[in-house]
Amino acid sequence: MASDASPGEERDRRVVFIQALRGIAASAVVLTHAQLFINGPRFLDIGERVFHNAPAGVDLFFVISGFIMAHTTWRLVATPKAAGVFIAKRIIRLWPVYAVATALMYAITRGLPAPVFNPTATTLTRTLAFLPLEPTGEAPYYGYPILHPAWTLIYEVWFYVLFAASLLAGRWRWWALGALFMTFLVVIPVALTSHVEYEAGKGYGFNNYLCVATNPILWEFVTGVAIGALYQSPPSMWLRDRRVLTTLVVLAAALVLWQQGTEVREGHGPLRWGLPAMFLVWSLAMLDRVRARRPPRWMIFLGDISFSLYLFHVLPQMLPRQWPTWNGMQGGGWFVAVIISGGVLGYWGWRLLEQGVCEWLRRKLLE
């Protein structure tokens, strides 16, 4: 997902561990889609066996997004103008990259023998406006957009809207944000369905945008914001024993790896893949406040390009998967090739669009 910090903020040593986590999350999603090249009986279903739970990278992304939002705006003076600038920056950061990736996906798939998507003017408009295509469809996806990993951006944008709305409350902004989340995640569900759901794959069956606005996967953003607020809190509220914190980080990492290798509590949502992600981000945040360590540079680099990598990596995977001789185009070579080519596209998307077009638009429109 798109980074929510300015370039200067992202280089701050206090948040480099978050950049590394973003790189891990994006890599997990890449492997999720590349596994199809090493699935099937002749490959002993190795892709499914090893990367079955890799979509958990999405849940990690959502927790990270909430954290970054709290961290980078902690000292922001909340005013109506700040709310407008905030949402404008996020859309400028998000939409151009998404629009280009969507256009490329449409271009490379529309003429193939078995096109995956047959978009209409309506579906294209809803896709580019971050609206669910099928509000009554399978939760939490509600209809895949043309660029299928981008279903998550609907939630990302909704989170931005709630965050911007909270800035209208001035010094009461954090209370307002909490009230907004409580309204959509508790009050409305109880009023309309008489219960609160915590399974993102169930939702509430609403046939409009409420399907997104109330989906339990949003609890992961809430938790991320809470961890970000704790990260900014006075030292008296932190755990300060480095040995204890290091132990907690190791346990969190072990929990993530254990869940990846089992079928226990699999699926999107705060009590499934989201729970280990929350534990991992919290433990790393607390350790970072006591003893900051710089992750390997390659992990930080993956975090820098993670948004473009997340969107562009599926493009080289679509061509061989739709070819008439698809079964003959599987194998370890293709698996490696689509990962590398997706990484190259992610890098250039970051370089040309994120650092180029998006930064140019930000300077022209907001400075």
Mind listing the pLDDT tens digit for each residue in 21-80? 999 999 999 999 999 888 877 777 788 888 889 999 999 999 999 999 999 999 999 999
Mind listing the pLDDT tens digit for each residue in 175-227? 999 999 999 999 999 999 999 999 999 889 898 999 999 999 999 999 999 99
Can you tell me which residue has the tokens 């895949």? 144
Which residues neighbour 77 within 8 Å (Cβ) at sequence distance 6 or greater? none
Percent of the chain with pLDDT over 90: 66
Residue type, 254: A
Query: What is the mean pLDDT of the segment spanning 263-283?
Result: 93
pLDDT at 238: 80
pLDDT at 3: 53
Task: Give the least confident one: 48-62, 145-159, 178-192, 316-330.
Answer: 316-330
pLDDT at residue 328 greater than cutoff 70: no
Spatial contact of 206 and 261, defined as CB atoms under 8 Å apart: no
pLDDT at 157: 96
pLDDT at 203: 87
Burial label for 256, CB within 10 Å (0-12, 13-18, 19+), is: buried
pLDDT at residue 14 greater than cutoff 70: no
pLDDT at 110: 79
Rounded-to-integer distance, Cα 169 and Cα 78, Å? 7
pLDDT at 121: 81
Which residues neighbour 281 within 8 Å (Cβ) at sequence distance 6 or greater? 18, 21, 60, 63, 64, 67, 224, 227
Rounded-to-integer distance, Cα 58 and Cα 47, Å? 18
The 3-class secondary structure across 95-130, one letter per residue, is HHHHHHHHHHHHHHHCCCCCCCCCCCHHHHHHHHCC
Q: Which residue has the higher pLDDT, 293 or 67?
A: 67
Q: pTM (2 decimals)?
A: 0.92
Half-sphere exposure of 276 (CA within 13 A, CB side): 25
**Averaged pLDDT of the chain:** 89
Task: Give the least confident one: 80-89, 92-101, 299-308, 328-337.
Answer: 328-337
Sign of the torsion formed by the C-alpha atoms of 343, 345, 220 and 85: positive
pLDDT at residue 10 greater than cutoff 50: no
pLDDT at 2: 61
Task: Give the least confident one: 100-109, 112-121, 142-151, 270-279.
Answer: 112-121
pLDDT at 326: 64
Query: What is the mean pLDDT of the segment spanning 112-124?
Result: 74
Highest-confidence segment of 50-59, 101-110, 141-150, 349-358? 349-358
pLDDT at 115: 66
**Which value, to the nearest 10 degrees, does the dihedral of the CA atoms of residues 90, 60, 319, 122 take?**
-50
